[in-house]
Structure 1
Amino acid sequence: MKKFLLMSVLYALLVLPSLAAREPNAARGVKRAVAMFVAYNFFYIFVVLVVWMSMEG
């Protein structure tokens, strides 16, 4: 599980921009990519603080 959490950063770097690239409008695609990265970072912080810390104990 820990390895997947660490590898998810690499997956996000590949998947999120490819999803945003499908947007026909370039400016909207950049905004979508930034929004997805921000949402991913908040989710990642939550998972690390809750799940990772519960695995330590």
Structure 2
Amino acid sequence: MKKFLLMSVLYALLVLPSLAAREQNAVRGVKRAVAMFVAYNFFYIFVVLVLWTSMAD
């Protein structure tokens, strides 16, 4: 599980911009990509603080 959490950063770097690239308007796509990265970072911080500390090696 810890390996998946670490690899999720790489997946996010590939998936989130590709989702935002589907927007017709470039400005809206950039705003969407930034918003998704911010939301992902908050989610990742929460998961690391809550789940990572409770996981056994």
The reply to whether TM is greater than 0.5 is yes
Moved over 4 A (4+): none
**Length, aligned pairs only:** 57
- What residue in structure 2 maps to residue 46 of structure 1? 46
TM-score normalised per structure 1: 0.97
- Aligned-pair identity (%): 89
Superposition CA RMSD, Å: 1.2
- What residue in structure 1 maps to residue 9 of structure 2? 9
The answer on 1:37 being equivalent to 2:45 is: no
User: Where in structure 2 are there 5+ consecutive unaligned residues?
Assistant: none
Give deviations 1:4-44, integer Å, cap 9, x for gaps: 00000000000000000000000000000000000000000
